[in-house]
Amino acid sequence: NNVSGLGYNVLHLKMYLPYFSGIWLGVEWDDPQRGKHDGTYEGTQYFKCRHPRGGSFIRPNKANFGVDFLTAVKDRYGLKEQDVQNGTKNTLVLGKKTVELIGMDSIAEQQRQGKQMYYISAYLIKKTNTLILVSEKGNIRHINLSKNLLSSWDTVTDIASQVPNLETLNISENKIKFPSTSISVSNVFSKLKVLALNQTEITWTEVLVCAQGWPALEELYLTSNNITVLERPDNVLQTLKLLDLSDNQLLDGDQLHQIAYLPRLEQLILRNTGISSIHFPDSEFGCKTKMFPSLKRLAINDNKISQWSSINELEKLPSLRSLQCHNNPLMDTEKNPETLRQLIIAKISQLEVLNKSEILPAERKGAELDYRKIFGKEWLAAGGNWNPERNKPSEEFLAAHPRYTALCLKYGAPEEGELKGQQPLTLKNQLLTLTIKCPDKPEQKPVEKKLPESMTIQRVKGLLYRLLKIPGSELKLSYESSKLAGKEVELDNDLKPLQFYSIENGDCVLVRW
């Protein structure tokens, strides 16, 4: 029901109350803050509420009990009364009911004008007893019935049966009773690709029961349904590419193992699900898990993840390319958000997008070089050694830094000079002595300059413009280091400082134009 535009509620019963004349309705509000009690009056409990203050008693004239599907669509899309009175009449039998199709002249006129209806959105629907838009139903692809008064999955199925090419259905924010044991599988949803069931109080068990009728489903949205426990989908949801379980407080991170073998799942959204850890027990560090074989995009923001071990585990995912992980306790372990970002990038080798920001090749290289240097002393203390025969870091170190060995193979082990203790941050110690060379202009002699490590690439270009008398906008910069023999690193982000690229004293900046 809808009460005078104030919000939605569930009607529990119609009654007489002591000391008050007339009929009252006992209702439970979707928003419990609008209620006053738990269904109890003068010591007698007339109905039960999920929330202790979610109930109210109201007069019948305050309640809106909704309309049928046809009336809702007629009101929504402006079918006029004369369309109903003068329209061509057609009938169709649905079960034991003979159903009249009306308003066809208006629809035919729209068709003559080249207007086709692909999308329907309707408001305050409580039931369906009339088939609609028979001349258009083959064109309709998308239906939005969110925030209505639908109370039964059978009603939803009846509506969908009228739209043979239905691809997208949104029935969020309806208090629907779903089948929990078995259903009669039909082809009503045979072409359905996107289904939104947010805030419908559906359980995961009911999802798996209904999913028998969703053979082509690709996107499923299940936010805010109090789902706590998952079960393994057997022979259902095998076409699913996106699953959104946000705002459901899962029992623990191991619940994810139940959905880990959906073969086509590419995007998993787990915002605010209460998970505190992620673990893939089927594989060791350095190996890829068989779980989530197609998962490319993962959102775990607004959770309780506090340990780096969960980030290490994500390196096991074979297809992961994009990660959202902000607003976790782990994010508070580093004061500098740029350092935090670099650590995550270095730990997950295939990541291309982090918190909606693209990871450029130069950023990845800088992050991995810095990671190799930052934890170099810890590596040595744990048994690491420049001599391959004596390089035996402890299991504890490898568990905390599973990619460290791979980074040493990629860039070489950190040299002793890189691991010396940092000097106090005076201006002198922040200056880098660099050699400026123009490899394509042999007549230009190398120049040695001292530059602050905080100097941005844009400002370096401005300096070189004045120094070399060339337009800064046309410059292409890179650098080479004795630690990266035969390799050049492009300085391709004008907004980044020199230290971002791990440039050190004695390195050579190469200038081309």
Question: Read out DSSP for 375-403?
Answer: THHHHHHTT--SSGGG----HHHHHH-TT
**High-pLDDT (> 70) share of the chain, %:** 78
Lowest mean pLDDT, pick from 14-18, 239-243, 393-397: 14-18
How much is the average pLDDT of 153-157? 92
C-alpha 506, offset from chain centre: 45
Give the C-alpha separation, 344 to 403, whole Å.
11
Average model confidence (pLDDT) for the chain? Answer: 82
Give the C-alpha separation, 90 to 79, whole Å.
17
Query: For residue 467, is pLDDT > 90?
Result: no
Take residue 169 and report the two structure tokens written for it.
């259905």
What tens digit of pLDDT does each residue of 305-352 get?
Answer: 999 999 999 999 999 999 999 999 998 888 788 889 999 999 999 999
Instruction: Output the CA torsion sign for 465, 468, 474, 475.
Output: negative
How much is the average pLDDT of 479-489? 84
User: Which pLDDT value is given to residue 83?
Assistant: 46
Q: Are 384 and 397 in contact (CB under 8 A)?
A: yes
User: Which pLDDT value is given to residue 403?
Assistant: 96
Give the C-alpha separation, 488 to 501, whole Å.
11
User: Which pLDDT value is given to residue 93?
Assistant: 46
Confidence of residue 120 (pLDDT cuts 50, 70, 90): low
Give the C-alpha separation, 457 to 101, whole Å.
70
Residue at token pair 């109890």: 40
Give the C-alpha separation, 4 to 8, whole Å.
10
Higher pLDDT residue, 63 or 300?
A: 300
Residues ≥6 apart with Cβ < 8 Å to 293: 261, 263, 318, 319
Higher pLDDT residue, 427 or 369?
A: 369
Confidence of residue 77 (pLDDT cuts 50, 70, 90): low
User: Which pLDDT value is given to residue 129?
Assistant: 44
Query: For residue 360, is pLDDT > 70?
Result: yes
